Every structure is written in C-alpha cells, then in structure tokens.
Amino acid sequence: MSGWGLGLRGRLLLAFAMLGLTTTALVAGVSYGQARTVVLQKAQDAAVLSLVDEVSRLDPVRQLPPSEEELNAIASVVAEGPDAAAVVYHNEYATAGLDPSELPQQLRAAVGEGNVVWQRFSRFGDPTLAIGTQLKSKRPDGGTEPTGIEVYLLHPLVDEQHSIDQLAALAWSTGAASLVLAVLLALLAARGVLRPVSELGRAARRLGEGDLRTRATVRGSDELAGVALIFNQTAERLERQVGELRRMEADARRFVADVSHELRTPLAAMTAVTDVLDEEAERLPGDAGKAARLVSQETQNLAQLVEDLIEISRFDAGTAALSCDNIDVAAAIRFALHCRGWTDQVTASLPEGIVAWLDPRRLDVIVANLVGNALRHGGAPVTVDLRVVDGWVEVTVADQGPGLAPEVRDHVFDRFYKADSARSRSEGAGLGLAIALENARLHGGTLVAENRSPHGAVFTLRVPTGGNA
C-alpha cells in the first residue's frame, strides 16, 4: 500500500468502501440469486405441473400413428394464453404457435428419455421456458410405454424477468447505499483518528521549530493517547535538557567574560609600562633587552586577545550595542587605512558621497581586519572597493594571493580558526574574522568570503545604508 501514496483517510476510505461493497455484493448477490431461483422455480414448476396435468387428462388416443386432427386437438388443449405449443409425432407435428425447429436441440433429445424436461432459452430476445414431454400410455399390466407423441410447450418468462430485474435494481441500489454509508463511516472513523494525529503533527512541528514548551493534548486512553503521552514526556525531557545546555553555555560564556574582565586589571598595569620597556630595551645588555622587548610585545598581544574575548562574549550575551552615526564611508575607510599606515600598500576605490548609518568604531574594526588579513595572508596587490548596490553599502577587500582552500573557506569565520596552524601567534588568536562577522551582523549586514579567479581571496561586507537620520 505505501507505494500508492494514499493518506490515512484514503486508505480507510478504500478499506471501508471495499468492505461495504464486498459484503453488500455478496449478500445482495446471494439473496438475488436465491430469489431469482425461487421465482423461476415457482414459475417453471407451475408451468410444468400445469402441462403434465393437462396432458394426463387428455382424451384417450384413438389412433397411432395419430391423425392430424388428433395432434391438433392435443396442441390446442395444451396451448393457452401466451403459451405456444407443438405436438410432434415422428416427422409430423401439429403447431399452436410453435415450430418444433425453434426448440433447443438438447430439449428434444432429452424428451426421448421418458421424463418431463424443461429448459430456459432465449426466443426472439426474450427469456422463454420450453417444456417437453412424451405422452405415454398406460398398459394394462401397470407399466407405461411411450406413444411416440411428444408435447412441447413454450412459456414466456418475461414477467419473471421483470420481477428479477426489479430484484437486481434493488440489489444495486442497496449496494450503492451501502457504499455511501461505508464512505461516510470511513470519513467519520478517519476524522476520529486523523484529528489527534494532525494535532500531534502540529505539536511536533512546533517542537521542531523551537518551541520546547509545546505539549500535545492527551485524550482518552488508546494508542494515540499513548503516543501523545510519550511525546509530552519527550518534549519535557528535551526542554529540561536544552535548558540545562543553555544554562551551561551561559555559564561558560559568563566564565569567559568574568575571566577576561579579571585579566584586565593586571593587564592595565602591564600595558601602561610597555612603552617604557620598549624604550629601555635598547639600553639593557644582551638578553635582558630582548627579554624586555619580548615581555612588551606579548603584553600587547595579550591585551588585544583579552579585548577580543570580551568583545566576543558581548556578542554572545547579546549586550553588544551599536552607536551609529551618519558616516561618510569613504572617509572612514580612508582614515582606517591612514591610521595604520596602509594607504600606500592598498589600492582603494572610494567614491565620495556614500553616507550610511553605521557604527564608525565597528566599521573601522572590520576594515582593519579585512585589509590586515589581505596584506598579511593574501598577496599584493590588495584592493578595497566601495559601492552602493540596491540600498546596501558594499565594501570589497580583495587580494591576489593564494586564495582560500575549500576547507578553509568553510571555517574561516570560526572562532580561533587559523588557516595555517604553523602561523606565529604574533598575528592574532584567530578571532579577528569572527568579530568582523559579528560586527557586520550587528548592523544587519553580511560578510562573505570567496575565491576569485585566477587566484586570490575576496571578502565582501554588505551593510544596509540605513537611510534615516
């Protein structure tokens, strides 16, 4: 049945319909058959008995071979009403509406065996009963012997046909009614089953969409109720587990945020003096100088990492906020490049007049990260293009380096992901693109990474222009 794609309702309908039809067909068919047999039998028996009675009360036969008159006399006695008769003696016959050649061959052959025989056949399209019998004579010794006279009677069964047709019509209409009833019952049964099923289906879908508080109504105590009960138990367990997981995740995030926050204080003290170390490092002898520079550098790296972590945890906690202003995007990008001394290393196409409602600090972070990555990991020439497309500001940073390997491209925005694991730590912890992406999303925009032909990577930032003051 599964290959047919019928729903539950369809299958129930079909089953009920088949059941109804089959049962009705059987019952009606059998009753019809029985009734038909009875009707016919009654008609036949009556006709036969009537004929036999008349034949046995015929006037005695006076001539054998009989004369034409004698045969005619018999024929006219036997034939009455719509019945046609024929009386046959050897090759001669007398007819009262019946030509013996119309009679079925089988019947004529059977008559010779000395019993009353009858047969139904179709005469001019109407069902007709043909009765045939010998006329025997009683012998003084008690036996009987055939006279050689055969009497045939045709009794039309049109009336019986009519009654039977009425019976058939009744059977058919009963069948139709039962089919309708079966369909109605099926629909009713289907509804009774389908309603809880579709309710369960809706609950399951809601659960799948994320509403873990969904519960199904448990009605009654049948299998469906059992399923609904199990569903509820599962949903509850799921809700609890997801709640657990969320709590654990929130705890973990809070831990990261707390730790990062705590790291700030010692870092503040260390950061304040890195410049001092850098300046003094030249005057320190040998390794001491290197040590001083090392500490200074790593302190700055650590401070940056902690800042990145705090930024990320703000995104995760949902507490990151935009502080937007109408920004001349070209000027902002130019400023970002200038600040870091990249103006000469980057080819920028920054048309004037593009103003968008953006957070300038976050824009700066994104641009700095993308261009920094292009310069460090991509290859010259690095290009920055700015344009507006359909109400979106598009900033494209492209390089002509080796491009992104397929597995790298899928994970490049992941946290702590570094494409080349042998890369030195001085180039960051791998949070830059993750933060850039979150900053883009915070604006309601997107950041995507692709390869361009023949080689090189392209990072495209798209943010809405905003358009309100």
Considering only residues 222 to 261 of the shown chain, the ones binding other proteins according to CB under 8 A are 261
Least distance in Å: CB of 57 to other proteins?
8
* Alpha carbon 333 to chain centroid, angstroms: 52
Tell me the C-alpha distance between 15 and 19, whole Å: 6
| Window contacting other proteins (CB under 8 A); options: 233-241, 325-333, 346-354, 396-404 | 325-333
Tell me the C-alpha distance between 444 and 436, whole Å: 13
User: Is 87 one of the binding residues for other proteins (CB under 8 A)?
Assistant: no
| Window contacting other proteins (CB under 8 A); options: 130-138, 386-394, 427-435, 444-452 | 130-138
User: Is 295 one of the binding residues for other proteins (CB under 8 A)?
Assistant: no
| Number of residues binding to other proteins, judged by CB under 8 A | 104
> 245 exposed, middle or buried (CB, 10 Å; 0-12, 13-18, 19+)?
exposed
| Window contacting other proteins (CB under 8 A); options: 198-206, 210-218, 226-234, 299-307 | 299-307
3-class state of residue 238 by DSSP: helix
Residues in contact with 144: Cβ distance below 8 Å, sequence separation at least 6, in sequence order = 136, 137, 138
First to last CA, the chain: 64
Considering only residues 179 to 218 of the shown chain, the ones binding other proteins according to CB under 8 A are none
Where is 455: in which H helix or E strand?
none
Binder among 23, 34, 76, 122 for other proteins (CB under 8 A): 122
Tell me the C-alpha distance between 463 and 443, whole Å: 6
Q: Which is nearer to other proteins, 57 or 213 (CB)?
A: 57
**Is 460:396 a contact under the CB 8 Å cutoff?**
yes
User: Is 440 one of the binding residues for other proteins (CB under 8 A)?
Assistant: no
Torsion over CA: 280, 286, 290, 292 (sign): negative
User: Is 115 one of the binding residues for other proteins (CB under 8 A)?
Assistant: yes
Binder among 119, 297, 400, 451 for other proteins (CB under 8 A): 119
Q: Which is nearer to other proteins, 24 or 373 (CB)?
A: 24
Q: Cis link prior to 285 (omega < 30° from 0)? A: no
User: Is 293 one of the binding residues for other proteins (CB under 8 A)?
Assistant: no
**DSSP, res 220:** S
User: Is 79 one of the binding residues for other proteins (CB under 8 A)?
Assistant: no
Binder among 12, 13, 40, 98 for other proteins (CB under 8 A): 40
Binder among 31, 95, 161, 301 for other proteins (CB under 8 A): 161
**Is 320:438 a contact under the CB 8 Å cutoff?**
yes
Residues in contact with 399: Cβ distance below 8 Å, sequence separation at least 6, in sequence order = 374, 375, 378, 379, 380, 381, 382, 383, 456, 457
Binder among 118, 231, 413, 459 for other proteins (CB under 8 A): 118
User: Is 173 one of the binding residues for other proteins (CB under 8 A)?
Assistant: no
**Is 324:464 a contact under the CB 8 Å cutoff?**
no
Least distance in Å: CB of 441 to other proteins?
19
Least distance in Å: CB of 196 to other proteins?
26
User: Is 426 one of the binding residues for other proteins (CB under 8 A)?
Assistant: no
Where is 399: in which H helix or E strand?
none
**Is 84:98 a contact under the CB 8 Å cutoff?**
yes
Backbone angles phi, psi at 181, to 5 degrees: -60, -45
User: Locate tokens 């995104």: which residue?
Assistant: 315
Binder among 16, 78, 84, 134 for other proteins (CB under 8 A): 134
H-helix segments, 210-328: 223-272, 274-281, 286-317
Binder among 76, 106, 217, 233 for other proteins (CB under 8 A): 106
User: Is 135 one of the binding residues for other proteins (CB under 8 A)?
Assistant: yes
Tell me the C-alpha distance between 320 and 434, whole Å: 14
User: Is 168 one of the binding residues for other proteins (CB under 8 A)?
Assistant: yes
User: Is 133 one of the binding residues for other proteins (CB under 8 A)?
Assistant: yes
Least distance in Å: CB of 95 to other proteins?
18
Least distance in Å: CB of 469 to other proteins?
3
Q: Which is nearer to other proteins, 191 or 338 (CB)?
A: 338
Tell me the C-alpha distance between 282 and 288, whole Å: 9
Contact letters (x/-) for other proteins, 341-380, by CB under 8 A?
-------------------xx-xx----------------
User: Is 264 one of the binding residues for other proteins (CB under 8 A)?
Assistant: yes
Binder among 5, 81, 125, 140 for other proteins (CB under 8 A): 140
Binder among 10, 31, 35, 52 for other proteins (CB under 8 A): 52
